[in-house]
Amino acid sequence: MKLRTCYGRILLKISGETLAGENRFGFDFGLIRRLAGEVKESQAAGVQTAIVLGGGNIWRSRMAPEMERVAADYMGMTATVLNALAFQEILKEEGLEPRVLTSFAMQPVAEPYLRSRAVRYLEEGKVILLAGGTGSPYFTTDTCAALRALEIGADVLLKGTRVDGVYDRDPEKDPSAERFTDLEYQEVLRRGLGVMDLTAIAMCMENKLPVVVFDVTREGNLRKIICGETVGTNIKEAL
């Protein structure tokens, strides 16, 4: 039975740390295969899916504070390409037709990102993996996710992490932290909540793009969201 979905096109942002699972470095291929299976399910339900992957399971600029920022950021962008290539292979095993599009030339392993090409692939039923960040240093993959979601006309930005939503404090450090079910963009910016890069939140607010922050490692959460169930934290304009 085909799922009844609330979205026609989504952008799914998955943090690099999530791809590492409990290892905290490299790849948890068991987890990636399950995630690919959920993407396959959303595709079968008619939801066009674009994915932006972080690179923190391989490299983060803070790992080398003595390194010049621009070079460190380009290393991080390259890490996202490695993640996209790995995820692409697992999606192929699921019988899907993924395409990796990068913000800078990486031929022959990926195609250059063009908005028209990305939209065409989505309309053809292909999953697209948008790698390389924005192609410029000083911007996070969260900002890349917001930018690409707006460019391709996504209905929602889904940020998949290892935490089940947005909290008033870091729940991994403070067990008494309280989770929000709904938040307004302005509240996130005012309180400096570390859910996403503030530039990304400001972009979503300006363009009224809803954001859902959820635990992507919990099986079935992606399905619940695309079917309209409340999962994690919803960030949107004033209620």
The reply to whether 112 falls in a domain is yes
C-alpha to C-alpha distance for 158 and 5, rounded to whole angstroms: 14
3-state secondary structure of 12: strand
Quote the pLDDT of residue 37. Answer: 97
C-alpha to C-alpha distance for 157 and 233, rounded to whole angstroms: 12
Using 50 as the pLDDT threshold, list the residues of the chain that sit under it. Answer: none
The reply to whether 170 falls in a domain is yes
- pTM for the whole thing? 0.94
The reply to whether 135 falls in a domain is yes
Task: Give me the half-sphere count of Cα atoms (radius 13 Å) on the Cβ side of residue 51.
Answer: 34
Alpha helix locations (H) across the chain? 16-20, 29-44, 69-93, 115-123, 141-152, 185-191, 198-207, 221-226
The reply to whether 78 falls in a domain is yes
Per the structure, the count of domains in the chain is 1
The reply to whether 1 falls in a domain is no
At residue 183, what is the residue type? L
Quote the pLDDT of residue 63. Answer: 77
Write out the residue range of the structural domain in which residue 53 sits. Answer: 9-236
The reply to whether 138 falls in a domain is yes
Quote the pLDDT of residue 230. Answer: 93
The reply to whether 3 falls in a domain is no
Angle at 217 between CA 213 and CA 223, to 5 degrees: 70
Quote the pLDDT of residue 1. Answer: 54
Quote the pLDDT of residue 140. Answer: 95
The reply to whether 131 falls in a domain is yes
Q: What is the CATH number of the domain that holds 188?
A: 3.40.1160.10
